Structure 1
């Protein structure tokens, strides 16, 4: 009889520990999800910069290769910082924040350079006006994504994002 009670107690204890672990894991994933769209945007920039690097290597554009390689590496580092959010609940993402600012500033500079002769050294694949306007549109879209991401980071850092409220409510009610 006593043995049966011990087993029931052990089972109940294990169930409680399992429920507690699930609750803690859910909170961890919620914190990680706060940066989900920012992570996707930085990944888009990584692959865009990588594609630009590959194209510039094909065109043997030294200036383009240098700039695109630096931005590819920098976006890769920002991506790694985003992945560390799985095990790090700190709200700050200094590398990603600065990366997005640099990317936005460069996109603005690229818009200007696209219409100048120096632009041919960075973007040798721009051969006509329609490609020039297409690239300008892409740069403007990149600026908008950077600005939106900066706004989102600001919301997270000030606990004004939707996830913060959900996390706080979920912490109070263990399931």
Structure 2
């Protein structure tokens, strides 16, 4: 390899490393979205196999579509010039709204309608409530992370800035 080729290769490696550092700012968001995608897919399939009325499919189907669009948006973030993650913010706010709605309906005794595999019991109700509250807390955490990224106050952004300062 000649000297010019080595410099070009090193410049491409640096640019790739910087792009990956920017992309990894959304790592937690991507994993949480994938988790929620599969949870909602399971919920959709559970309703389908139990022969639930069609109107019950609206919630898991809308969350599946939201998760898919969020994953698509996260895939587009593999660039150095990132924009705000609007779809992810909408999706996680939608998760909070749906979970609050499910908590309210569960407390009123309607959780077996939305989760037909569960029997009407106190332990089933507690399990549903705990899972919904975990979903709310996860969404609040992800929204906080997205806000940090948008405000450029996350640790990864500071590491990127330190790295950029060290190579220039």
Partner secondary structure for residue 2 of structure 2: helix
Question: How far apart, in 2, do the equivalents of 1:87 and 1:159 lie?
Answer: 16
Alignment of 1:34-49 (within 5 A): 34-49=25-40
Question: Where does the alignment leave 5 or more consecutive residues of structure 1 unmatched?
Answer: 1-9
Q: How many residues align?
A: 166
Q: State the structure with more CA Rg.
A: 1
The structural deviation recorded for 1:172 is: 2.4
- Any idea what the Cα deviations from partners look like across 1:59-93, whole Å, max 9, x if unmatched? 11123322211111111111111111113632400
Query: Is 1:12 aligned with 2:19?
Result: no
Partner secondary structure for residue 76 of structure 2: helix
Partner of 2:149: 156
Mean Cα deviation higher: 42-51 or 126-135? 126-135
The root-mean-square deviation of aligned C-alpha atoms, in Å, is: 1.6
Select 2:136's aligned residue among 143, 156, 159. 143
Select 1:66's aligned residue among 50, 53, 58. 58
TM-score under structure 2 length normalisation: 0.92
Query: Is 1:84 aligned with 2:76?
Result: yes
Partner of 1:113: 105
Question: Where does the alignment leave 5 or more consecutive residues of structure 2 unmatched?
Answer: none
Q: Which runs of 4+ in 1 moved over 4 A?
A: none
TM-score under structure 1 length normalisation: 0.89
